[in-house]
Amino acid sequence: LRERGVEPEQAELLLSLASNAPLLALQFADKETTKLRENLLDDLLSLAKETADPVTIAEKWCKTSLIDTLYLVYSLLANISRRLTEQPVKQRDLDKATAHFAECGIYALFELFDVWHQTFTDLKVPGAKAQYVMTAMLIRWQASLMGTKHG
């Protein structure tokens, strides 16, 4: 990564995203994965704070690589849950998300994992429409988060 001119902090994030696999981290660097991850994190927070429309976010997410998007969303949720359970996570930019999801509780994150898994399963169905499946996932997520804060 150093030979490719990747900044040390960026390299640390890429290696973390790639589970310390240097070749995968290089692929992520080439695909501008960190920018996509930043956007996904912003979208998740906007959704959780009820300041974004799930349909609009789903449309945006479907314009990117669906596999990369689902992988990064899973990674973000996993790392936020690790932070909530006080496990070490090297991704420093998760502070706001961790604080927000701490208000919702760890069980809300577990529910988001369940919805993510169902979405992944739904996308495997022949003829599944990515836009529809992603929209349904984000609407369920937002409803789930609203329920933990208001209910």
Q: Which residues contact 65 (CB under 8 A, 6 or more apart)?
A: 31
8 Å CB contact between 137 and 115: yes
Let me know if 23 is exposed, middle or buried by CB neighbors in 10 A (0-12, 13-18, 19+).
Answer: exposed
DSSP E strand boundaries for 4-97 = none
Amino acid residing at 23: L
Model pLDDT for residues 111-127, shown as the tens digit of each residue: 888 888 888 888 888 88
Q: How much is the pTM? A: 0.77
Predicted local confidence at residue 149, as pLDDT: 53
The residue-averaged pLDDT of 58-65 equals 88
In terms of Cα–Cα distance, which of 151, 150, 148, 131 is closest to 54?
131
